[in-house]
Structure 1
Amino acid sequence: MPQMRGEVIEKAFSGSLKAHKLSDKPYLIEKINRNDPAEVIFYFPGSGAVRDWYSQPQKNFGETTIDLDLFRSLRSIGSDEAASVNEAFLKRFKEILSAKPSLADEVEKAMSKKKQIVFAGHSSGGAMASLATLWTLEKYQTPKSHGGIPPLCVTFGSPLVGNHIFSHATRRENWTGYFHHYVMRYDIVPRVLLAPLSSLDQAFEQISQSFNPKSKTFMNYSLRGDNEKVTSDFYFAIMSNAATVTSHAASKLMGSTETTLETLANFIPLSPYKPFGTYHFCTGNAKQIVITNPDAVLQVLFFSAQLNTEEEEIQVSSKSLRDHTNYGTELQQKNVVVHLEQQDLLKLPLSDDGASGHIDVISTALNDLNLSPRARLCLRAAAELELRKSGNEKYFEEKKELFERKMKELQQYKEFWLHQKVGFYDGFREHKKSEDFKANVTRLELAGVLDEMMEKVRNYELPDEFEGKDEWIILGNKVRELKEPLDIANYYRHGRHYEDASASYMVKGRPKRYRYPQRWLEHKKRTQFEPLSPSCFWAEVEELRYHTSKSGASFQDVKERVEKLEAQIKAWNANNELAKDVFLEGSTLVKWWRTLPPEHKQQSCIQDLIRY
């Protein structure tokens, strides 16, 4: 995990407070040249205005779909589902990008000089720092970029920013270690978005002035008289909603089939937001507990801010605002840092009885956050979920020998048809030889394992890093390139496209076992998604063949599609991405192409590839 020097962390907080005071500026810059590498710190101001937290008040949680043009990686790759992000935060970040001085220019300058960039922010300024870091990682840390030192992000009392896909994507990209979120035990701001705006009534507008740089009561909110009740109601509204969110999450972590919670979730809106990155929980007692597991972080956000007794109601609710400004004091102390790694979470004692050594140190730190046995049980469950995901991956690792053996059988089947001077696509489509039936059994065996794998990917039952691992990207695409032509041949051999005019393979027939690995590969290469690829172009050939053979069909209706396919075939062939049997005499492609109008064939870009 990338480390940050204590000096930089303290500067990050003090600089973030300065940015608050100059909140009319989109950000402040500080350059530290005496260190190696030199550092450039960007500080972002926060805002307490409701419109800067909820762009559309009628939306309970103010979320929207992330802009994939800016944040291409913030999605589930296989299912191509974009992450959700707080709409107001995203809008404000876009305004920062378009403001002067240009953030893009300053980042480009620092990156080109190999300086360490640090993005920092307090309160909602932390959300801007997070988005700026993600934007920079996306733009400068991809295979096609010129690189530079990866940026770091440090936030203090930052609200949550995105949903579970947002969190999943950052873990898949191995970006967790670049984000350091500091949270005081009772600070309410990191928990605010666990509650819908409707449950906060008018309290948000009033209390948010304490963290609104443009307010006279900024960081000096009165906790007397009526304000005590408003503060108390605000705290309890957020924490009661947080209780519902975390209880629902905990039941899923523990594999509960409790229908009551599911029914409740249908009637009570649950916050979509989820933590991401590395969290540093400050106990207020010179200790920091560091957690990277987002499910565990969510549970700590709830349980650490609980009351010990009912008598603490006013004290804790008022502390929930004061803690939002206490980071400077906490950072000046010499903190004992306790890292809660996966193995530590699994061994977490439910009580202090019998704890010793490293586990005793952890248990003592958890006591400072007042984490109850139930809280510790939820942390264990978060670790056990990761263990189950790793177990699922191990299950597929044990299937690799099966993959290799079955793919070898299909390769031999392909060579069998090549010796017959027939493409294996056409051989399988005819399906008349005993070898075809054997290949079909092999095809179905591979499909079963692949479908099982993709279903677990879709349900997030594999490690978040799974879709980004080279071994699975390579394996998935090897199988796709060899096996998908057989699936297409089988699809059209059974005439499924005749049942429904819109039932083409690419629209309704192409399974996740091919779509997912193709997207994994395209994401790794940072190329655009291509609807057609060398493994599935046969489907387009079949569709065009069907359309041009219909009675009364006009070539002009499909001419553009034909020319596009021909151009792709030429490019794929030049890159050696097509098997040579595609152009054999009597192949489906050749037979169809020869039926096209003579004037088209004479000008076709693939006429040299097909002898006629």
Structure 2
Amino acid sequence: MYDRRFSSGLELASSVVNSNILHQLWTQVEELYKDMETRKNLNDQPTLPLPFCYKISHLSPNCVVIVFVTSPPCAASHLQAAGRELIPSSTIKDHFPHFDFLSSEDFLSSEDDQSFSIHKDAITRLASLPDDLSDIAKQIGKSTTLIVSGHSLGGSIASLYTLWLLNNIDTANVKIPICITFGSPLMGDNGLQQAIFESRTWYSCFLHVASIYDPVPSLFISQHNLNINGSYPQARIYKPFGTYLLCSHSGYACFEDSNSVSELLVSLAPQRAECQQIFDYRSTLQGLKHNNIICQETSLLGEPTNDPHRTGIILRIKALGINSTQINDNNTLIAKILRWEEKYMKRRKSLSNPSKKLNDMKVYMALLEWYKKYAKDNGIGYYDSYKMMEGWSRRDMDVEMYKTSLTNYWKNVVEWAKGKPQKKGSSFRICWLFAGMNYRRMVEPLDIAEFYRENGRVKDYLTQGRSEHYMHLEQWQRDESKSLRSQNNANERKMACSLTEDSCFWAHVENAITICKSIEDANVSSGNVDAQSWQSLVEFEHYVMSLIKGYSVSPEIFLKRSSFMKWWDDYKAIRGCSYISEFTEYMNKCTYIDLLKNL
């Protein structure tokens, strides 16, 4: 069990229930409470409670366990309104620098809602030991399975620490940590839940064991959190994330959908015993051995069904001792959870890792390479070929299809990557970084061509037409620039690249053409040319020369029928023979001919 990676929270739950791991973890919790009590009694001021403590132990040679607990007085404070305070992500960077990744755009899940809130007590207590955080992470070996656990408020601390680990360890070389909590209160709001939900891997790392008789798991949930449709209002409210293993005297059931978990915790509240500071999960765990819902008879359904998914949901609900004679009644708890679970499954499917389609996209990229070769053979280059096409040939329609498919794919990938919780500055996994870079350099020139074909030069692509997904891809590449330079330093390149490195090169060319036109018009009308126009063209010269010197521009820009060469002809005419610069000498001497020979 310890060497296994889990593709879903339900798989993790099934594995731990059928092993002895939960009992072992709870034993660690009990021992840590005893140690805390002993330490308090040895303190010079025994009336002052220890806020929280943790313990590192080995369940096996390759399995390390970290357990967090809080003192009973701290746990009791969670029953008070003051203990429910949420703090916004915008304040995390200033007050909790070790958790500043939580406030970065990389962690957030949507452009419309760039924030979330998190439980103040949990992050405050964990942030009080920043050095310990790093020390623990350094002890994780490549073959080590790490399980982070905790009880009550300690469970919230364990969840937050697991997020920190996921952000700070290299999960490509180290096993992904697993977080298993007991009776943990909710840790954050709907924004936090959504951010974690966007990552299949991260979401499946969390398993929360909660007895329906323990008041703490639903402490921050109330009926006011849910409207009549079971959806949450816009106000910041606590919301569960991860997989919940709900336990009762009659059985147990697992749920991943946050709406279902919230509804069940609220609906089962009347069955709870009186509030206790520490709910003992030992008897609950003993009951798991004798109440395996998977083995129960389908007669529990009360009616035949041919839908395995529906059957599984009903069995899970009935395992908690909920009786319903009207399963198909829209007003029943079962009916609502069935709807939520179906929506959840569709959402998870839609958020599948897009890398599965990457090979298909590589085929489209290869086909665009053929179009690029076709345009080069016609002496025009693929940018101008696509921009100047008249009518729609079969080749043009194919290129449009390839471009559209690639753009839709990469927009989805960017949205997925933005929502995936990960370390700031590493927003895009390396396996996609180069593919995304090549896509941007190949396809964005086609978007620029389409923009100016449709709008002329009355609009500027860089300020009015560029898609945000290109900006994100470019920024993520820039974030990795140091490692990229060490692997493929542009200054060491001795051959021109096949794709111009700056995917916006042709937009700059179009701007330069516009400036030349304005200078020509000014010369005709008044002879007075704005000095800024000349300065802009000088800057464009420097820009082009920097690309040429760095072998960072494709030789196809020097094809006779390209827009760049047309600009050069116009520029040379308005500058006159008296003007000399490094760029004009390079162009007048036709030094670029050698580059064209290798095209």
Contact 2:293 2:319 in 1 (8 A): no
What aligned pairs does 1:34-73 form with structure 2 within 5 A after superposition? 35-45=60-70, 48=77, 53-54=84-85, 69-71=100-102
What aligned pairs does 1:124-523 form with structure 2 within 5 A after superposition? 124-143=153-172, 147-164=173-190, 166-171=192-197, 172-194=199-221, 238=222, 240-244=223-227, 247-248=230-231, 265=233, 270-283=235-248, 285=249, 287-305=251-269, 307=270, 316=272, 319=273, 321-322=275-276, 325-336=279-290, 351-354=301-304, 363=315, 366-370=318-322, 372=324, 373=327, 374-389=332-347, 410-429=368-387, 431=388, 433=390, 441-442=397-398, 444-445=400-401, 480-495=440-455, 498-499=458-459, 504-511=460-467, 514=470
Change in Cα spacing, 1:393 to 1:276, as seen in structure 2 (3 Å) is closer
Structure 1 residues not aligned, in runs of 5+: 57-61, 195-237, 250-264, 309-315
Q: Which residue of 2 aligns with 1:59?
A: none
CA distance in 2 between counterparts of 1:364 and 1:55 reads 32
**Mapped pair 1:106 → 2:70:** no
Contact 1:77 1:520 in 2 (8 A): no
Tell me which amino acid in the other structure corresponds to 2:133: L
In structure 2, the residue corresponding to 1:160 is in which secondary structure? coil
Tell me which amino acid in the other structure corresponds to 2:227: T
**Mapped pair 1:10 → 2:39:** no
In structure 1, the residue corresponding to 2:303 is in which secondary structure? coil
Change in Cα spacing, 1:154 to 1:364, as seen in structure 2 (3 Å) is closer
Spell out, residue by residue over 1:15-58, the C-alpha distance to the aligned partner (whole angstroms, 9 max, x if none): 564687666466422323x62214242425356376664266xx
Deviation at 1:351, TM superposition (A): 4.9
CA distance in 1 between counterparts of 2:35 and 2:457 reads 61
Change in Cα spacing, 1:51 to 1:333, as seen in structure 2 (3 Å) is same
Change in Cα spacing, 1:117 to 1:584, as seen in structure 2 (3 Å) is same
Deviation at 1:610, TM superposition (A): 4.9
Contact 1:289 1:365 in 2 (8 A): yes
Q: Which residue of 2 aligns with 1:28?
A: 54
In structure 2, the residue corresponding to 1:189 is in which secondary structure? coil
Q: Which residue of 2 aligns with 1:553?
A: 532
Change in Cα spacing, 1:416 to 1:297, as seen in structure 2 (3 Å) is same
Stretch deviating more after TM superposition (366-375 or 44-53): 44-53
Change in Cα spacing, 1:353 to 1:364, as seen in structure 2 (3 Å) is farther
Spell out, residue by residue over 1:446-505, the C-alpha distance to the aligned partner (whole angstroms, 9 max, x if none): 566677778988999xx999x999999998777655432111112134446635xxxx43
Spell out, residue by residue over 1:89-134, the C-alpha distance to the aligned partner (whole angstroms, 9 max, x if none): 5751672353x5x2212221x1147543332222333222112111
CA distance in 1 between counterparts of 2:228 and 2:91 reads 21
CA distance in 2 between counterparts of 1:162 and 1:564 reads 48
CA distance in 1 between counterparts of 2:23 and 2:369 reads 60
Tell me which amino acid in the other structure corresponds to 1:84: F
Contact 1:188 1:324 in 2 (8 A): no
Tell me which amino acid in the other structure corresponds to 1:161: M
Q: Which residue of 2 aligns with 1:86?
A: 118
CA distance in 2 between counterparts of 1:85 and 1:186 reads 27
Tell me which amino acid in the other structure corresponds to 2:289: N
Spell out, residue by residue over 1:386-405, the C-alpha distance to the aligned partner (whole angstroms, 9 max, x if none): 454577689x9999999788
Give the paired residue count: 502
Instruction: Name the Cα RMSD after superposition.
Output: 5.4
In structure 2, the residue corresponding to 1:248 is in which secondary structure? coil
* Identity in percent: 21
Tell me which amino acid in the other structure corresponds to 1:151: P
Contact 2:361 2:406 in 1 (8 A): no
Spell out, residue by residue over 1:151-190, the C-alpha distance to the aligned partner (whole angstroms, 9 max, x if none): 2212222232345554454452512332121112143433
Contact 1:443 1:483 in 2 (8 A): no
CA distance in 2 between counterparts of 1:398 and 1:120 reads 33
Change in Cα spacing, 1:586 to 1:168, as seen in structure 2 (3 Å) is same
Contact 2:153 2:184 in 1 (8 A): yes
Spell out, residue by residue over 1:296-328, the C-alpha distance to the aligned partner (whole angstroms, 9 max, x if none): 3333333333x47xxxxxxx5xx3633862334
Contact 2:210 2:244 in 1 (8 A): yes
Deviation at 1:64, TM superposition (A): 5.1
Spell out, residue by residue over 1:330-389, the C-alpha distance to the aligned partner (whole angstroms, 9 max, x if none): 23445356579xxx9xxx999533489995896376253426542222232233224545
Contact 1:184 1:323 in 2 (8 A): no
Return the match for 2:556 from 574, 578, 581: 581
Tell me which amino acid in the other structure corresponds to 1:129: A
CA distance in 1 between counterparts of 2:57 and 2:396 reads 64
Contact 1:182 1:280 in 2 (8 A): yes
Change in Cα spacing, 1:320 to 1:168, as seen in structure 2 (3 Å) is farther
In structure 2, the residue corresponding to 1:155 is in which secondary structure? strand
CA distance in 1 between counterparts of 2:258 and 2:539 reads 49
Task: Kindly name which structure, 1 or 2, has the bigger radius of gyration based on alpha carbons.
Answer: 2
CA distance in 1 between counterparts of 2:51 and 2:548 reads 53
In structure 2, the residue corresponding to 1:325 is in which secondary structure? coil
CA distance in 1 between counterparts of 2:214 and 2:438 reads 50
Contact 1:66 1:83 in 2 (8 A): no
CA distance in 1 between counterparts of 2:585 and 2:292 reads 71
Tell me which amino acid in the other structure corresponds to 1:352: G
CA distance in 2 between counterparts of 1:580 and 1:77 reads 40
In structure 1, the residue corresponding to 2:244 is in which secondary structure? strand
Tell me which amino acid in the other structure corresponds to 2:443: K
In structure 2, the residue corresponding to 1:379 is in which secondary structure? helix
Return the match for 2:107 from 62, 65, 75: 75
Change in Cα spacing, 1:414 to 1:379, as seen in structure 2 (3 Å) is same
